[in-house]
Amino acid sequence: MKKYDAIIIGAGQAGIPLAKMISKKGLKVALVEQDEIGGTCINNGCSPTKTMVASAKVAETVRRAGDFGIHVEGFSVNQKAIRDRKQHIVDLFRGGAESGLKKAENVEIVKGRATFKSPMVLQVSDGESRELQGDRIFINTGSHTVIPDIEGLASQPYLTSTSIMELEETPEHLLILGGGYIGLEFGQMFRRFGSKVTILDRNARLVPKEDEDVCEEISNIFHTSRISTIFNATAYKISGGRGRITIHYKDQSGTPRAVTGSHLLVAAGRAPTSDNMGLEDVGVKLTIKGFVDVNEFFESSVKNVYALGDVAGSPPFTHMAFHDAELVFNSVYGGQRKSNKDRLTPYCIFIDPQLARVGLNEQQANEQGIDYKTGKFWMKHAGRTLETDEKDGFFKVLVDPRTRRILGATVLSKDGGEILAVIQMAMVGGITYDVIRSLPISHPTLAESLNNLMMSIKE
């Protein structure tokens, strides 16, 4: 049995930086990974999807070239070349992650599946079995695609968010089961590649956690792009086969209906990867939904066993997993016990225009009984978006009428994620909206529309 100061299960976007930080303390670390180094983000999440989103953006730009006075005789989409470009980026990022780990002193990569034999002992199996003992164990196993229990689905050649990126042909008609972030990104992407796209969702609107005006604007954008959306749809059966798949569903009134396409993408959400690890056998408690039950310091119910990232129920974003690693390291090894409570959670959905948010929206403020004032500025009035002819969306902000500080913001616009970072920094720094209102910001930029946004707040 090999002994380590720390064992980390999962070489994702929390596990890798945590391993490096611990090793720099001169401590011996085992980083256990059963799949590829880099986790979901590098291998089948952020990096590959955003690479393909970029290809889709180019396709849309070429398609609209005439709007900019550029005549293009014609073009075609090479799905295999798009896939190969995606894979090149994945290999590049994964290689960088592996190289960084190999350079780190005191870090040993152990390939295989980890199972708890006792609170501080793991059995790792990868053809052969070995046992590892750690003074502390950190669980960073992430999440996986949920495959709903629908009659006939298991026998169909359905796609997931991973396998759809391996296609060598552009689907004639892509059906998407689920209108969440994954469904929206792939829906718009493949529409731009030339597919007919139909999204079915059980909710009454897209992105239901956002304010109604945000949902309405995204729906308008998708409608203009001729992406079909079917709401209040409960799928109960999948039939057909390769090249012709039918989703049978019931509408809001319970009436049976059906829609047929050439390909089916299952995008019904993700679940924590916490099963078959022997966690509960050694006393590690799980929540009803399968997350490792941790406190604000990422401590599980077993002493010296921690969990972070998606599997611990943290916001399911790479940047939050990385931040988890920093908080855990500081709490356990840095002498600074830091909580994950009250931290800002920014996120960005890479549809076009991007949807980004940080802090409260109106829906949440009203639910919590928080007093606020709001401002809104439409992109169709912004100089920069008129120049680039990307006028969809708006900036929206909530402010505290007493302190004049920013409570939250939603940015639905070209490069919305970049603009959101500016607002996030203002929130962290306690900068009031009237300071931003009169701040000289470079022209012509998107950021200068923050002046107009703050001016729209009624005194």
| CA neighbor of 83 nearest in space, from 52, 62, 54 | 52
Q: Which residues contact 415 (CB under 8 A, 6 or more apart)?
A: 354, 446
Catalytic residue among 88, 223, 381, 443: 443
Query: What tokens does 247 get?
Result: 């989703």
3-state SS, one letter per residue, for 429-440 = HCCEHHHHHCCC
Query: What tokens does 59 get?
Result: 């396709």
HSE at residue 384, side-chain half, CA atoms within 13 A, is: 16
Give the chain's count of helices (H) and strands (E): 12, 21
Contact 310, 284 (CB under 8 A): no
Query: What tokens does 37 get?
Result: 């180094």
In the block, which residue shows the tokens 């350079």?
103
User: 443 catalytic, yes or no?
Assistant: yes
Q: Across-strand partners of 306?
A: 138, 299
Helix extents (H) in 346-456: 362-368, 383-388, 416-429, 433-437, 449-455
Pairing of strands 2-9, 29-33: parallel
Pairing of strands 256-261, 263-266: unpaired
Tell me if residue 260 falls in helix, strand or coil.
Answer: strand
List strand residue ranges (DSSP E) for 201-262, in order.
228-230, 234-241, 244-250, 256-261
Q: How many CB atoms lie within 10 A of CB 443?
A: 10
The span from the CA of 13 to the CA of 33, in Å, is 12
Q: Annotated catalytic sites, by residue?
A: 443
